């Protein structure tokens, strides 16, 4: 009997242990489906290898990742650009220790001192020294990368979202009415959700590291090229915005400037646009953009200075606060939607922020905090400036500031100086992408690189002179490009990569977000283009 009890006891122990293991496995599977899972989520989930072409190293654009490293390898300067959607973080994410992708082999290889001499001069260093920001040698390489803390990640994401869109939110409020502020927070919430979708896409394979990689994983090479082209157009359009912004504020300081050249009359805006282009042009010729990164440390300071000047004018001058405006203006609402969406164009750098974190599982909370801070900042400036200027609010509130005040002049010159560094950093990825398309024997030609970059800058001047409408251009970028990169494409890629593993609720949510993005893109683009012609 005792022997029988011992046998049964062993069986029961085995049964209990088996049940515990089943429960544990079920619990782990459930945890892996949660958004706030541990760092092993991306490895425990079943990768979509049937959808992912692992040959990233030979696909255009190869320089995209290099330019992303350029934006995320330098210490702590921060982005003043809201649409180009790039920022400069303190650390560069490490590669996966157990998986060495073909992309990292082809793009980030170890070079000897002799091999470094053979690197094309048109391509900036992949790794720039953190000491370069402090004025040390610009040729010094970065020390071994360290991961970003949670606080650093929050700061990086917030800086990616807070950019020049803040200059036009008061104008958007004027165009759409007071109730349109609700749309600012609605779009922020949706963009935060789609940012989490990008995180889930990255978790599907350890080889996915950039936005174009996600596009290739979802839709093959055509998806990679399509997303890359959209991102490059977004960067190029942001450069046009920079030039318009500089020209408007410089023309406000010299309103009576006129000139006749070969029978062609140039007004103050046209003269200032040409002068701004000549000032900007040398910045895109620089091989070592760490110099621009050093100067761009003041980007966030400049933005804060402009906001402080606005507050000072409102409280210390005779402008005062005069409540006015409509509750809701449906006619101009599409312009408002385009500008609001422009404010949340940070998705191109979210993959880098996610991968650089010490605890990637906390990325959703990083997005939640950064979007909340950005939304409150945009809304606060919009309300404050609109109460000051009312229906006279310009697409850039700096143009409404009284010209006789020192604070107004300081804000105008700050807005003029800030793009000097950001223009070069935004245009370089576009230039490198064009250079990739050249024959191999032309890649080492410095004169060819100079010609390409000069042509791109001159083309932005032509666009800025043809379409000198800051607010309408921002609405166009936000309606067409940002709607695609921030709403439509994250949902489309996520549904494709996770096909067959999504719940009905997830499918319905993604479909609704995509439909909303497409509708806003179509209506907003049409309205923005129409406003340019009036």
pLDDT tens column, 335-375 = 999 999 999 988 888 887 888 788 888 999 999 999 999 99
Could you write out the DSSP letters of every residue in 440-464? GGGTT-HHHHHHHHHHHHHHHHHHH
CB 396 within 8 A of CB 167: yes
User: Would you say 250 and 275 are in contact if contact means Cβ atoms under 8 Å apart?
Assistant: yes
Q: Mind listing the pLDDT tens digit for each residue in 208-250?
A: 888 888 999 999 999 999 999 999 999 899 999 999 999 998 9
Say which DSSP state 361 is in: G
Q: Distance (Å, rounded) from C-alpha 358 to C-alpha 97? A: 14
Confidence band of 263 (pLDDT split at 50, 70, 90):
confident
Distance of alpha carbon 265 from alpha carbon 271, whole angstroms: 10
H or E stretch covering 265: strand 264-266
**DSSP secondary-structure letter at 145?**
P
Relative orientation angle of helices 419-436 and 406-417, to the nearest 10 degrees: 20
User: What is the 8-class DSSP label of residue 36?
Assistant: T
Element (H, E) at 264: strand 264-266
Is residue 277 pLDDT above 90, yes or no? yes
Is residue 71 predicted with pLDDT exceeding 60?
Answer: no
Rounded to whole angstroms, the Cα distance separating 241 from 463 reads 10
User: Which tokens in the block code for residue 161?
Assistant: 């979202």
> Using CA of residue 330, residue 332, residue 334, residue 338, what is the dihedral sign?
negative
Distance (Å, whole) CA 101 – CA 208: 9
Sign of dihedral through CA atoms 260, 263, 265, 270? negative
Alpha carbon separation from 60 to 207, 216, 218 (Å, rounded): 16, 11, 16
What pTM did the predictor assign?
Answer: 0.75
* Alpha carbon distances (Å) from 302 to 278, 296, 402, 425, 456: 22, 9, 19, 17, 26
SS (H, E, C) 60-103: CCCHHHHHHHHHHCCCCCCCCCCCCCCCCCCCCCCCCCCCCCHH
Residue pointed to by tokens 């504020």: 249
Average of pLDDT values for 493-512?
Answer: 94
Beta bridge partners of 259: 266
The pLDDT tens digits of the residues spanning 109-141 come to 333 434 434 433 333 333 333 333 323 333 333
Q: What is the mean pLDDT of the chain?
A: 76
Nearest to 194 by CA among 379, 376, 371: 371
Q: HSE-up of 57 (CA within 13 Å, CB side)? A: 10
What are the Cα distances from residue 190, in Å, to 184, 358, 370, 413, 488? 10, 25, 13, 35, 11
Which tens digits make up the pLDDT trace of 146-194?
A: 577 888 888 878 877 888 889 999 999 999 999 999 999 999 999 999 9
- Quick one: pLDDT at residue 85? 39
Q: Please determine, for residue 393, whether its predicted confidence score (pLDDT) is greater than 60.
A: yes
Rounded to an integer, what distance in angstroms lies between the CA atom of residue 137 and that of residue 140?
Answer: 6
């Amino acid at each position: 009997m005792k022997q029988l009890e011992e046998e049964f006891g062993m069986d029961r122990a085995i049964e209990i242990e088996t049940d515990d293991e089943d429960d544990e496995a079920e619990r782990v599977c459930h945890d892996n489906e949660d958004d706030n899972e541990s760092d092993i989520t991306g490895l425990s989930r079943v990768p979509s290898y049937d959808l992912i072409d692992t040959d990233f190293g030979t696909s255009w654009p190869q320089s995209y990742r290099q330019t992303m490293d350029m934006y995320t390898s330098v210490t702590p300067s921060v982005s003043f650009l809201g649409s180009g959607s790039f920022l400069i973080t303190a650390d560069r994410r490490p590669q996966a220790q157990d998986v060495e992708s073909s992309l990292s082999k082809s793009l980030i290889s170890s070079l000897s001192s002799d091999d470094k001499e053979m690197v094309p001069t048109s391509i900036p260093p992949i790794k720039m020294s953190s000491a370069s920001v402090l004025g040390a040698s610009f040729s010094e390489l970065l020390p071994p990368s360290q991961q970003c803390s949670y606080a650093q990640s929050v700061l990086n994401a917030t800086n990616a979202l807070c950019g020049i869109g803040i200059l036009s939110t008061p104008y958007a409020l004027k165009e759409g009415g007071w109730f349109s502020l609700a749309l600012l927070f609605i779009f922020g919430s949706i963009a935060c959700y789609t940012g989490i979708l990008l995180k889930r896409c990255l978790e599907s394979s350890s080889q996915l590291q950039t936005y174009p990689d996600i596009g290739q994983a979802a839709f093959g090479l055509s998806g990679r090229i399509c997303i890359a082209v959209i991102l490059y157009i977004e960067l190029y359009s942001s450069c046009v915005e920079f030039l318009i912004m500089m020209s408007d504020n410089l023309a406000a300081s010299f309103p009576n400037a006129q000139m006749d050249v070969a029978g062609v009359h140039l007004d103050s805006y046209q003269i200032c646009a040409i002068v701004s282009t000549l000032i900007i042009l040398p910045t895109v010729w620089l091989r070592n953009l760490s110099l621009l990164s050093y100067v761009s440390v003041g980007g966030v300071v400049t933005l804060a200075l402009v906001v402080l000047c606005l507050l000072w004018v409102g409280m210390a001058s005779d402008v005062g606060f005069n409540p006015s405006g409509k509750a809701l203006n449906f006619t101009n609402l599409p312009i408002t939607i385009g500008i609001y969406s422009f404010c949340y164009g940070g998705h191109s750098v979210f993959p880098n922020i996610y991968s650089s974190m010490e605890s990637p599982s906390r990325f959703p909370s990083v997005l939640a905090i950064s979007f909340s801070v950005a939304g409150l900042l945009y809304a606060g400036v919009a309300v404050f400036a609109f109460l000051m200027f009312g229906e006279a609010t310009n697409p850039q509130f700096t143009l409404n500031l009284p010209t006789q005040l020192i604070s107004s002049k300081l804000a105008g010159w700050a807005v003029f100086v800030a793009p000097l560094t950001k223009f070069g950093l935004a245009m370089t990825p576009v230039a490198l992408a064009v250079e990739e398309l050249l024959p191999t024997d032309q890649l080492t030609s410095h004169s060819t690189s100079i010609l390409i970059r000069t042509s791109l800058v001159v083309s932005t001047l032509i666009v800025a002179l043809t379409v000198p409408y800051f607010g309408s251009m921002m609405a166009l970028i936000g309606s067409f490009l940002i709607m695609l990169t921030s709403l439509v494409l994250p949902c489309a890629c996520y549904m494709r990569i996770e096909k067959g593993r999504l719940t009905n609720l997830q499918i319905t949510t993604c479909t609704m977000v995509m439909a909303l993005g497409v509708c806003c893109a179509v209506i907003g683009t049409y309205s923005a283009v129409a406003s340019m012609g009036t």
